[in-house]
Amino acid sequence: MLTSGPFRRLGDRTSPSVTVGGGRTGDARTGRGRARTRGPGPSGGGYPGGVTFPVVGMVGGGQLARMTHEAGIPLGLRFKLLSDTPQDSAAQVVNDVVVGDYRDLDTLRDFARGCDVITFDHEHVPIEHLRALEADGIPVRPGPDALVHAQDKGVMRARLTELGAPCPRHRVVTGPADVAAFATEVGGFPVILKTVRGGYDGKGVWVVRSEEEAEEPFRAGVPVLAEEKVDFVRELAANIVRSPHGQAVAYPVVESRQVDGVCDTVIAPAPGLPDELAGEAQLLALRIAAELGVVGHLAVELFETRDGRILVNELAMRPHNSGHWTQDGAITSQFANHVRAVLDLPLGDPRPRAPWTVMCNVLGGDYPDMYAAYLHCMARDPQLKIHMYGKDVKPGRKVGHVNTYGDDLDDVLERARHAAGYLRGTITE
């Protein structure tokens, strides 16, 4: 098992504050007693009567921004949003919306004025622009030195290998012949090819079974990473949140089930996962966050191999689909803790509220009027939690998710699958 780097073993009270969900709790200091300033920040984000709260600048207007904004409302926080269009998911609910291109530095600088901190609902902002914002004195969380590892898979693999984190065998390849040479090195085809930047939800990823099949990924003219095809039992995710002063919390490790490369179902905690392996995954995620200097939420997507190991698949430095269950299934959601972290507030308890929570994504289908399905879903399951994103319904598009929870996993799983299927129209009774 990897050591936890700057984090000593859980329970060592000389370590930075670490709280681990799922029954594993270490030193849970909350930062009480640290000096904190009060009064107007650079934003001047005041309410009538002179009460001042910080302004969180969120780059990206998708559903992650929408749900992060929702988590900040009870805290009295103000959000400012940089969105691609006024119709984006978060732009429908945030009051202060700037429509512009996050790839343009002048737009970013104008947007950052009046914000106390900048954070993101995606990892695509150019690193050099984030360095410029930091040079202007704007806190950027996570910072560019961390975020580059979520933007560039080649950089991520090189750094994780340097840290000794368990990863699939890999290297950047230059063309189909180089892919064939890599395949020979790892025992033959098939191998996985990934564009080093921009891929998600199965996009930018290929399973290739011959040198001839390896031609397509190179047509885009971007670097390509080759990885061995891992013989895995299932996919897991370890979600943690880390603050600037080093406090960190770890949620229970979850199982993530994919359909056609897209997350379909998340089960918290992962059924049947040995405590030792779950603890190893949590410590690995905490160590990666500390070593890379992550501030905010980090999702470490993992493979559980047939021989009982875990391997790092991907990193995401923002709230993540594998953590949506926390909205209703954890004492403090990933969104609330991300907000707390970027503002350097004490982090909330990550422990689950129920023995089992299941999240199912709602994808667009042939029935665009999903609201009409609420009557059936809510009457059938009064405990069901529906979260819709305000998106137009298109086949295969993520338009929402549902959460269910309870004591019996089979029951919780059936309830979530039925609701998601009924909303999509694949289940009609």
Report pLDDT digits (tens) over 159-217.
999 999 999 999 999 999 999 999 999 999 999 999 998 766 567 899 999 999 999 99
What is the band of 336 on the pLDDT scale with cuts at 50, 70, 90? very high
358 CB burial (10 A radius; 0-12, 13-18, 19+): buried
Q: Quick one: 182 and 141 in the same domain?
A: no
Q: Which domain holds residue 361?
A: 18-23+231-424
What is the band of 6 on the pLDDT scale with cuts at 50, 70, 90? very low
What is the band of 1 on the pLDDT scale with cuts at 50, 70, 90? very low
What's the residue count for the chain? Answer: 429
Q: What is the CATH number of the domain that holds 211?
A: 3.30.1490.20
252 contacts 38 by C-beta, under 8 angstroms: no
The domain total for the chain is 3
Biggest CA–CA distance in the chain, Å, is 70
Over range 311-326, report the average pLDDT: 98
Q: Quick one: 270 and 288 in the same domain?
A: yes
Q: Quick one: 270 and 387 in the same domain?
A: yes
| Angstrom distances, CA of residue 217 to CA of 201, 206, 225, 267 | 16, 8, 10, 33
Q: Quick one: 345 and 250 in the same domain?
A: yes
CA 184, CA 37: separation in Å to the nearest integer? 59
Assess whether pLDDT exceeds 80 at residue 325: yes
Judge whether 113 lies within some domain: yes
Q: What is the CATH number of the domain that holds 324?
A: 3.30.470.20
Q: What is the CATH number of the domain that holds 109?
A: 3.40.50.20
Over range 297-303, report the average pLDDT: 98
Judge whether 38 lies within some domain: no
Q: Quick one: 270 and 409 in the same domain?
A: yes
What is the band of 118 on the pLDDT scale with cuts at 50, 70, 90? very high
Q: Quick one: 192 and 326 in the same domain?
A: no
CA 251, CA 334: separation in Å to the nearest integer? 9
Judge whether 164 lies within some domain: no
Residue at a domain's end among 228, 253, 279: 228
Q: Quick one: 200 and 173 in the same domain?
A: yes
Q: Quick one: 196 and 309 in the same domain?
A: no
Can you say how many angstroms the Cα of residue 124 is from the centroid of all Cα atoms in its chain?
14
Q: Quick one: 221 and 236 in the same domain?
A: no
CA 341, CA 238: separation in Å to the nearest integer? 17
- Residues 6 or more apart from 164 whose CB is under 8 A from it? 2
Residue at a domain's end among 211, 228, 245: 228
Q: Quick one: 236 and 214 in the same domain?
A: no
Assess whether pLDDT exceeds 50 at residue 328: yes
97 contacts 81 by C-beta, under 8 angstroms: yes
Judge whether 320 lies within some domain: yes
Judge whether 186 lies within some domain: yes
Q: Quick one: 212 and 290 in the same domain?
A: no
The answer, as to whether pTM is greater than 0.95, is no
What is the band of 367 on the pLDDT scale with cuts at 50, 70, 90? confident
Judge whether 107 lies within some domain: yes
The pLDDT of residue 324: 98
Report pLDDT digits (tens) over 240-279.
999 999 999 999 999 999 998 899 999 999 999 999 999 9
What is the band of 366 on the pLDDT scale with cuts at 50, 70, 90? confident
| Angstrom distances, CA of residue 262 to CA of 42, 388, 396 | 40, 17, 9
Q: Quick one: 137 and 219 in the same domain?
A: no
CA 55, CA 57: separation in Å to the nearest integer? 6
What is the band of 36 on the pLDDT scale with cuts at 50, 70, 90? very low
DSSP state of 85: S
DSSP state of 74: G
Judge whether 36 lies within some domain: no
Judge whether 351 lies within some domain: yes
Residue at a domain's end among 177, 195, 228: 228
Torsion of CA 186, 191, 192, 195, to 10 degrees: 80
